Amino acid sequence: MENQVTSHIIKGVILSAVSIVFAVIVYVFNLYEMSALSYINYAIFLGGLIYGAVLYSNQNNNNVTFGNLFAHGFKTTAVVIVITSVYTIISIKFLFPDMVDKALEIARKKMMENPKMTDEIIEQAISMTRKFFIPFALGGTIIGTGILGAIGSAIGAGVAKKNPNPFSDNVA
């Protein structure tokens, strides 16, 4: 009986669902300003990618290469990018339209802490950010998740067990 290999799509959907639930919890409980929470979300994503690579290796009897594992992890990342990007647009436009105002208010507070920032400069920055909030949010989602996914995929590919010769059939 051959091992069933879990698809990168299934893993991506699971990681996306966890990320979205985490984002909704942060929104509902108004925990935006707790930056440590974003690190928890990143750790969950990295851990999921690493676990996914180890699982993929085990399901293939460790007859995989670093490249196979990295590709599987990055395909998982691509699925996460697509799903979270769609969620980002839907949440900003329809589910939580006040999210933009809350994020801009936090940005305003941080800018006001800087003595070099005048009120005029702060207003210009807030106005520009408001205009381009969705592209900025999408860009951050795509680039941030892509970079983090590449790192997690590389770590997962590095730690997963691999047979020295992936072309040998080590069935004992």
What pLDDT is recorded for position 144?
96
Burial 97-122 (b: 16+ CB within 10 A, else e): eebbeebbeeeeeebeeeeeeeeeeb
pLDDT in tens, 121-166: 999 999 999 999 999 999 999 999 999 999 999 999 999 998 876 5
Eight-state DSSP code of residue 165: -
Whether the pTM exceeds 0.85: the reply is: yes
Res 170: pLDDT: 52
Q: Is the alpha carbon torsion for 62, 63, 69, 75 positive or negative?
A: negative
Amino acid identity of residue 118, one-letter, is T
- Reading the block at residue 88, the tokens are 């980002």
Q: Do the Cβ atoms of 19 and 128 come closer than 8 Å?
A: no
pLDDT tens for 38-90 read: 899 999 999 999 999 999 999 999 989 999 999 999 999 999 999 999 999 99
